Amino acid sequence: MRSSPYLVPLIVGCAYFMQSLDATVIATALPAIGQSLGEDPVRLNVAITSYLLSLAVFIPISGWLADRFGGRTVLTVAIAIFTVASVFCGLSDTVPELVIARTIQGIGGAMMVPVGRLIILKTMAKSDLVRAMSLLTVPAVMGPALGPPLGGFFATYGSWRWIFYLNIPIGAIGILLVMRYIANTREEDVPALDWRGFALTAIGLAALLYGFETMGRGVIPASVVVSLMALGVTCIALFFAHAGRVPHPIVDPALFRLQTVSSSVIGGGMFRIGVGALPFLLAMQLQLGFGLSPFASGLITFISAIGALGTKPAAAPIIRTFGFRRVMIGNAVIGAAFLFACALFTQSTPHTILLAVLFVGGFFRALQFTCMGTLGYADVPAAMMSRANTLATMAQQLFLSLGVGLGASILHLSQSLRGAPTMEAIDVVPAYLFIGFLSLLSVFYFIRLAPNVGEEMSGHKARR
Q: 161 and 204: one domain?
A: no
Q: What is the arithmetic mean of pLDDT over 364-385?
A: 83
Grade residue 35 by pLDDT with cuts at 50, 70 and 90. Answer: confident
Q: 230 and 288: one domain?
A: no
Q: Residue 199 sits in which domain range?
A: 195-248
Q: How many domains does the chain have?
A: 2
Q: 205 and 334: one domain?
A: no
For 214-267, write each residue's pLDDT tens digit. 665 556 777 887 898 899 889 989 998 998 889 888 888 888 888 888 899 999
Say what the pLDDT of residue 336 is.
93
- How far is 24 from 418, CA to CA, in rounded Å? 29
Q: 316 and 453: one domain?
A: yes
Specify if 30 maps to a domain: yes
Last residue of a domain, one of 248, 264, 289: 248
pLDDT at 380 over 70: yes
Specify if 398 maps to a domain: yes
Specify if 185 maps to a domain: no
Alpha carbon distances (Å) from 114 to 146, 197, 209, 266, 387: 23, 19, 20, 18, 11
Say what the pLDDT of residue 250 is.
85
Q: 326 and 201: one domain?
A: no
Q: 380 and 342: one domain?
A: yes
Specify if 1 maps to a domain: no
- How far is 421 from 410, CA to CA, in rounded Å? 15
- How far is 193 from 215, CA to CA, in rounded Å? 34
For 278-331, write each residue's pLDDT tens digit. 877 888 888 878 888 777 877 787 788 788 878 878 888 898 889 899 999 999
Specify if 117 maps to a domain: yes
Q: 199 and 139: one domain?
A: no
Last residue of a domain, one of 229, 248, 267: 248
Q: 14 and 126: one domain?
A: yes
Selected residue with higher pLDDT from 140 and 417: 417
Q: 385 and 239: one domain?
A: no
For 99-139, write each residue's pLDDT tens digit. 899 989 988 988 888 888 888 887 777 777 777 777 776 66
Q: 230 and 321: one domain?
A: no
Nearest alpha carbon to residue 376 among 271, 268, 274, 294: 268
Q: 106 and 224: one domain?
A: no
Q: 315 and 211: one domain?
A: no
- How far is 302 from 351, CA to CA, in rounded Å? 13
- How far is 362 from 366, CA to CA, in rounded Å? 6
- How far is 304 from 423, CA to CA, in rounded Å? 24
* 8 A C-beta contact, residue 238 and residue 200: yes
Assign residue 381 the CATH number of its domain: 1.20.1250.20
Specify if 2 maps to a domain: no
Specify if 416 maps to a domain: yes
Specify if 450 maps to a domain: yes
